[in-house]
Amino acid sequence: MRFMVLGKATEETERGDLPTPEEFAAMEAFTAELVAAGVVVDGAGLKPSSAGKRVAFDEEGESSVLDGPFAETKEIVAGYQIWEVSSLDEAIQWACRSPVRNGVVEIRPLYSAEDFA
């Protein structure tokens, strides 16, 4: 099963603060462990929402572009990884081993072709 693992933004990530060398090393070691176990398919960190845009659509499909930054930090994604594991429980077990401190990680299953059969 494939899951998207979303690292939620914090005030620090929205300011564009980079991790300390120690935090970066801990996350790099954890990611290397995920790669060695064949769990990680893809992943990246995202720049702060101030560098982004949102495209909103109304009921008729008309679009409008909204400039970042976006107000609700708790709803912003700061990074992602795609994991391939056997179950949601396994994804949770891996996430609990993460060196993330003072943050939130969201785990969401991806649809597969079987979901639409």
Statement: residue 47 has pLDDT above 80:
yes
pTM to 2 decimal places: 0.85
pLDDT score of 96: 96
Give percent of the chain with pLDDT exceeding 70: 98
Cα 20 to Cα 7, 36, 38, 48, 102, distances in angstroms = 17, 24, 27, 17, 14
Provide the residue type at 91 as one letter: A
pLDDT score of 73: 66
pLDDT score of 4: 96
* Choice among 23-27, 87-91, 112-116 with the minimum mean pLDDT: 112-116
Map out the domains of the chain with their CATH numbers: 2-112 (3.30.70.1060)
How far is the C-alpha of 49 from the C-alpha of 61, rounded, in Å? 24
What is the band of 51 on the pLDDT scale with cuts at 50, 70, 90? Answer: very high
Statement: residue 46 has pLDDT above 80:
yes
